[in-house]
Structure 1
Amino acid sequence: MKIISVSRLTLLLFTILGVTTSVNSTAGECKILPKVLSAYYDFNQQKSNNSEGNKIQILAAKQTQSFELHRYNNRVLQRDINQGVNDIWSHKGNRLSLNRAFEQYQHTIEYQSNELRYQPKWQDIFQLVATPDLDKMQLVEQKNSGCQLEQHYFHKTKTSEYQLVWLPNLQLVKFFELKSPTLTRQWSLTNYQGSVEQIAVLFAEYSRYQSTDYADVGDNESTPFLAAMINQGFSASQNTRALHTHHEAH
């Protein structure tokens, strides 16, 4: 695998990154609270097939998806725009709970901590993208200030390369790339805003959905949405990992 030099890596990141923001901050100051903000991402994934015989790399079509991250203190909403399935996570007393919201049916299913087969780390939920720990990566560059303060990181293993641009004052991923010989994944922040009013309204919208405890799904076959979930094997699968799988970096 071709190794990118630190200088070329820095130049590349400076060139490809461009983010518009809804809130302007004065130099050296960030007025957005990391615990109350909305962030919008494009996720691109491209597979490749390297032929050892003739060194030809065959690239599959790039797939692009859109995701949203909304933080409201101890709650985080992760929206999968393509699927219309959204996860609302709560973190209280070191315990996670999940409300999975299905927009088509205006219905949520509530999971308690002991009902979650897969429990991601709160930090991965909080930043949407599961990245390597910062202390395991090489800090290449730091620039700007305030909300726009950026830290550029690089990490290489035997099988993968990682590039990360981190916004420490927002606790937010600006750009993240995971590259292996067969797969490239990229997360790009396209916008963010910190309006408390807008975020509160969004969470209130989902609170109006009809809700069912996971444990009671099997007893509500008369509800069309729940009957459809039962027929699809939803009740037995406890498939709480489906949405977050797209966010994993490793």
Structure 2
Amino acid sequence: MKNRLLALMLSSLVLPNVAMAAQEAQCPTLQAEHLKAQYQVTNGKGQQWQMTLIRNGQDFIIQRDGSTFEEWSSNGEYVRYFPAEKRSVTYRKGDLRALNIQHDRDQLYHVVSPALPTHMTKTQAKQEACFATQGFEGKVNGLESELVWIDAISLPAEFILGQSQPNLAYKLVGVEPFDSDAFVVLTQDYQDIDFADVGDSESDPFIAKMINQGFIEHGGSGFYNSEGQSIEAQGGHGSHSH
């Protein structure tokens, strides 16, 4: 009888460990500074789109649709890429200042401002399949909001701005390792132009089209709708909340 009980006890100990081992095998080994994270974004009208963040050290790329993606370099430069045309436009720090375009690098790098938790109240800590998460709730820009934070990769698992009447919601749907070589490949073989030279290149059909589209009229909030327009006016910017 004793042996049977012992066997039962042992099997109950072994099974979870086997399950854990299987789980760990499915969880990628991630570095916070070298990853690709995909989010499903939903706005207050119920419209949904995908956003991809790719980090390479302190440089990072954000893609919101198939037609363009944007890169923020640690030296303060901002580049917009147009894959269909294999063209890119680089904005130096001085260009951005002259255009009064401000990017909150911290918020963009972390999807939401990493200062948000300091203005919110801790709720539930959980151990998810691959990550430990910490919940927070509180007001962001006057709206009751909810944040589920993954400290290991410095990213939100979920962020809901305006719980009772959702204004904007981010949900992490996938994350994987992404090395420096793969990052470099993304921006290879593009014909680049400095923004300062755009005015002298209006005869270039690509430049003319870009100017007509007003593609550089981006707000600095890091929150955009599916058309790529800034939604800062709707209270989408979390980093100014105190």
Aligned letter for 2:36?
S
1:190 to 173, 176, 183: 173
* Native 8 Å contact 2:222 2:237 kept in 1: no
Structure 1's 145 and 177: CA in aligned 2 closer, same or farther, altered over 3 A? closer
CA distance change for structure 1 residues 30 and 182 in 2, over 3 Å: closer, same or farther?
closer
2: CA distance between counterparts of 1:184 and 1:141?
23
Q: 1:87 aligns with which of 67, 70, 75?
A: 70
For structure 2, the residue ranges without an aligned partner over 5 or more in a row are: 1-22, 225-230
Q: Could you tell me whether the CA contact under 8 Å between 2:54 and 2:178 is conserved in 1?
A: no
Which residue is 1:179 aligned to? Answer: 162
CA contact (8 A) 1:91 1:122 kept: no
Question: In 2 relative to 1, CA 100–85 (structure 1 residues): closer, same or farther, beyond 3 Å?
Answer: same
- Who is 1:98 aligned against? 78
Deviation at 1:130, TM superposition (A): 4.2
Q: How many angstroms does 1:201 deviate by?
A: 2.1
Distance in 1 separating the partners of 2:44 and 2:108: 24
The aligned counterpart of 2:42 is: 44
Q: How far is the alpha carbon of 1:103 from its aligned partner?
A: 2.3
1:232 and 1:69 map into 2 onto residues whose CA distance is 24
CA RMSD of aligned residues (A): 2.8
**Partner in structure 2 of residue 210 of structure 1:** 191
Structure 1 residue 63: Cα displacement: 0.3
2:104 — aligned with what?
121
Q: Which residue of 1 aligns with 2:55?
A: 71
Question: Conserved in 2, the CA contact under 8 Å of 1:102 and 1:108?
Answer: yes
Which of the two has higher C-alpha Rg? 2
Give 1:73's aligned amino acid: G
Alignment of 1:160-171 (within 5 A): 160-171=143-154
- 1:89, distance to aligned residue in structure 2 (A): 0.3
| Superimposed CA distance per residue, residues 63-117 of structure 1 (whole angstroms, 9 cap, x where no aligned partner) | 00111000001210000125x221100113xxx2100112232211000112212
Contact 1:99 1:110 in 2 (8 A): yes
C-alpha contact 1:87 1:98 (8 A) present in aligned 2: yes
Structure 2 CA distance, aligned partners of 1:178 and 1:138?
Answer: 15
CA distance in 2, matches of 1:242, 1:121: 7
Q: Deviations over 1:13-38 (max 9, x none)?
A: xxxxxxxxxxx747xx9841101000
* 2:88–2:191 contact (8 Å) kept in structure 1: yes
Instruction: Name the SS of the counterpart of 1:200 in structure 2.
Output: helix
Bigger helix share: 2
Amino acid at match of 2:43: Q
SS in 2 for 1:244: coil
Shift of 1:175: 0.3
Q: Which aligned pairs between 1:136-175 and structure 2 lie closer than 5 A?
A: 136-144=119-127, 148-156=131-139, 159-175=142-158
* Higher share of residues assigned strand: 1
Moved more, 105-114 or 129-138: 129-138
SS in 2 for 1:124: helix
Structure 1 CA distance for aligned equivalents of residues 188 and 58 of structure 2: 15
Q: Which amino acid aligns with 1:42?
A: Q
TM-score scaled by length of structure 2: 0.73
CA contact (8 A) 1:143 1:150 kept: yes
Partner amino acid for 1:79?
A: Q
